[in-house]
Chains A and B, each alone.
Chain A
Amino acid sequence: MSRRPYIRKPSKSGWWLAQPRYVRYMLREISALFIGLYVLVLMIGLYQLSQGKAAFDEFLASAEGSLGLAFAVVAILFAIYHTYTWFQVTPKAMPLTLGGKKIPGAFIIAAHWLGFVLLSAAMWLLVRS
């Protein structure tokens, strides 16, 4: 047989650099890592709180230090990106119909952002008081 199908294999580590859409996908996936790390920081904070005022003040000091702030900024950016990408795909995962007609995806996404803004505002007020 003169056939000899040729197989091109992608790089196991670098495949995601080949296209912008893959880079965006990896950023989305990495965002979960940063959100997880932030949760870890919060948990450490909670634990320090249980150890008394001194421990908690130390924790706050490092959280408000330059490294702590830098991390917080990066984490919140990733969190927003995570939220954005999550909302973008909700209409695909849960298509909704009303009276036989499909509800446009933009509607569902907008409703999610509205809920997000309202909830965030409520949390902000709670924390401030």
Chain B
Amino acid sequence: MSERVIELEILRYDPEQDETPRFQTYSVPYHDDWVVLDAINYVKDELDRTLSYRWSCHMAVCGSCGMVLNGEPALACHTFLRDYPDKIRVEPLQNFPIERDLVVVMDDFIDKLGSVKPYVVAKQEQDVDDGEYLQSPAQLAKFKQYTACINCLLCYSACPQYSLNDAFVGPAALALAHRYNLDSRDAGRSVRQDVVASNEGIWECSFVGACSEVCPKSVDPAAAIQQTKIASTGDYFLKFLMPWRRK
């Protein structure tokens, strides 16, 4: 094992003690196969029990450990020490209020997730005893990419529109709405429109594309939003041209 030492400069904030957040530096021994989360766990277990952060699966599927590492939103369990310089600045996700240390208040996202009605609004009701809805592999392929979101919020951290206007529904929620809109079993696009096609929905997006760049699961929320813009525009014109048309 090498003697290399990594310096973690971690943002700390305890509202009962601190007026404003401050940085605290810790020295952690370098391990070739450690991820940043391993280093943070080392800090908590060996150096400072008062450090608070969220984590669980350690395999980039639960979405708990989203943070900003050297200025870039990333999952702490999926970023390797070997890819970083000797000094790593560890901060909580941008654009969310800080509850404590690396823990942010996620309430706004949870509300927005619910607001897009992210569940199947059935095209036709079918009894469970009549078996599954048929869905071809091609139909599944259409929306599969957009099912991969782990709700890690890196996209909200990266999105400058969200930072300037927190009424923006945001990348992950809009990508999830798109997932259901594309699902062949769903007929709920019209009930999602109020939120999705609102000024705070897709139209707040100016296609910066930062969300898709930082997404660890290649969901490509930017693509989802642009596709929704086109579909919504089509809906809008068709409403005038063919008002009798049912969606």
Contact = CB atoms under 8 A, between A and B. Distances in A.
B94 A8 contact: yes
Contact of A8 (B98, B138, B220): B98
Interface residues of B, number: 31
A110 to B, nearest CB: 18
Contact of B98 (A2, A6, A95, A97): A6
Interface string B191-216: 00000000000000011111011000
Interface in B107-150: 137-138, 141
B16 A2 contact: yes
B45 interface: no
A6 B20 contact: yes
B226 A10 contact: no
A25 B208 contact: yes
A129 interface: no
Contacts of B15: 2-6
A92 B71 CA distance: 26
Contacts of A92: 212, 220, 222-223, 226-227
Given A2-B16, A6-B97, A16-B160, A93 B230 contact: yes
B1 interface: no
A95 B13 contact: no
A12 B220 contact: no
B21 interface: yes
A18 B159 CA distance: 12
B91 to A, nearest CB: 9
A93 B223 contact: yes
A95 B223 contact: yes
Given A5-B97, A6-B21, A100-B138, A89 B207 contact: yes
A94 B228 CA distance: 10
A89 B160 CA distance: 18
A19 interface: yes
A6 B212 CA distance: 27
A5 B230 CA distance: 38
A63 B138 CA distance: 55
B5 interface: no
B246 to A, nearest CB: 25
Given A6-B21, A92-B226, A93-B226, A100 B208 contact: no
Given A15-B160, A93-B227, A102-B141, A7 B220 contact: no
A21 interface: yes
A22 interface: yes
Interface in B84-117: 94, 97-99, 105
A96 to B, nearest CB: 12
Given A8-B98, A15-B164, A92-B220, A22 B207 contact: no
Given A15-B163, A100-B138, A25 B98 contact: no
List the 3 closest pairs (A to B, CB-CB), nearest first: A5-B97, A92-B223, A4-B15
Interface of A: 2-8, 10, 12, 15-16, 18-19, 21-22, 25, 29, 89, 92-95, 97, 100, 102
Given A5-B15, A92-B220, A92-B223, 11 more contacts: A2-B16, A4-B15, A5-B105, A7-B97, A12-B164, A22-B160, A25-B210, A93-B229, A94-B227, A94-B230, A97-B138
11 contacts: A6-B21, A7-B97, A12-B164, A15-B163, A21-B213, A25-B160, A25-B208, A89-B209, A92-B212, A92-B227, A100-B137
